[in-house]
Structure 1
């Protein structure tokens, strides 16, 4: 039981660490994108005009936004197709036969008897 608790603590600590590192990485990337946007604005404004800079940067951000929305929509559609295929392959669920033990309960009892026999208690 203690090994199970230790394993759960270790996995949760790893998950928390991974989430924190990803969050910090995301914040740093967002800051970097802000600075790169500012630098691109300055460069385009110096070379052309403020209107041109706004149009170019706005177009870039809208384009990337549309690409990400398209990817998300495609992934959602694909997940629905996979779920429908899985449901078609497995068919409807059937209840266990009445009057008998479920296979899980039978396996548990067999395992319990084997453990007792191994300990010499039977």
Structure 2
């Protein structure tokens, strides 16, 4: 059991390291793509417009991601743990309470007539 736990921890560490490496490469690539977009937009328009377009794009993407991250879907709630099956004494008590409530409601209906 301890070996299995060590293996799972090692696998999680490897996945985390690969994830951090991938995220780092994505950020570097995004920097180069932003620079290339800046150069292109500076060629076809003024630098001020290039900055407005790039800044607006990043701001808009940020707002979209913020909206997606705060949206709560009714189906995304974690499942509730099932209650333990009732023991015999609990089942008997539930039956007794149901019978009592049934009798009380029948008695109140009989009084109304």
TM over 0.5, shorter chain: yes
Matched, 1:31 2:22: no
State the distance in 2 between where 1:28 and 1:10 align: 27
Shift of 1:46: 1.1
Shift of 1:47: 1.1
Aligned to 2:70: 73
State the distance in 2 between where 1:81 and 1:7 align: 30
Matched, 1:82 2:77: yes
TM-score in terms of structure 2 length: 0.66
Shift of 1:79: 6.7
Q: Structure 1: where are the runs of 5+ without partners?
A: 98-122
Deviations 1:37-91 (A, max 9, x none): 00000110011110110011011101110110011010xx3379736xx67xx7x
- Which consecutive segments of 4 or more residues in structure 1 shift more than 3 A? none
Quick check: which has more Rg, 1 or 2? 2
Q: Which has the higher contact order (CA 8 A, sep 6+)?
A: 2
Q: Structure 2: where are the runs of 5+ without partners?
A: 88-113
